[in-house]
Amino acid sequence: MSLPDSVRTCFSKYATFEGRAKRSEFWWWIVFQLIVVAVPMLIGALFVALSVSPDGGSANGAMLAIGTIFYVIGGIVSLALLVPTYAVGCRRLHDRGQSGWLQLLVLVPCGNIALIVLWALEGSAVDNPYGPVPA
């Protein structure tokens, strides 16, 4: 599955927590999410950094405002992508025959490492209780 196919699939299954997702669908979605959230955040950081005067004087208000706007845009995009990210993560775990509730491991120290490993492992090659093998 390519990046555009993955993005199209994840948006069409915006809040679908049933079924299964291939590794490529999940990881291309993560790449897309990182790009669309990181770009405005980096632009915002650049504007905020440029707003500070080198001699320690007052900050340029316009540059600071533009940087803040980009931060807010990045935050809004991040929130908008939260549900489909959890949905595709759940479907990815289903592909391994595991419950989507395992995503709660992010609440445990170092649980995110175990979760990344689970997402990276190969899915079940046969039908499982969560559905048929993804095409």
pLDDT above 70 (res 57): no
Is the distance from CB of 73 to CB of 38 less than 8 angstroms? Answer: no
- Give residue 42's pLDDT: 94
Min mean pLDDT across 27-31, 34-38, 87-91, 125-129 is at 125-129
Taking the CA atoms of residue 110, residue 114, residue 120 and residue 123 in that order, the dihedral angle to the nearest 10 degrees is -160
Beta bridge partners of 131: 128
pLDDT band at 35 (very low <50, low <70, confident <90, very high): very high
pLDDT exceeding 70 applies to what percent of the chain? Answer: 97
- Give residue 117's pLDDT: 94
Q: Using alpha carbons only, give the angle 62, 68, 74 rounded to the nearest 5 degrees.
A: 140
Residues shown for the chain: 135
- Give residue 21's pLDDT: 93
Q: Where are the domains of the chain?
A: 3-88
- Give residue 37's pLDDT: 94
Please name the residues in contact with 108: beta carbons below 8 A apart, sequence gap of 6 or more: none
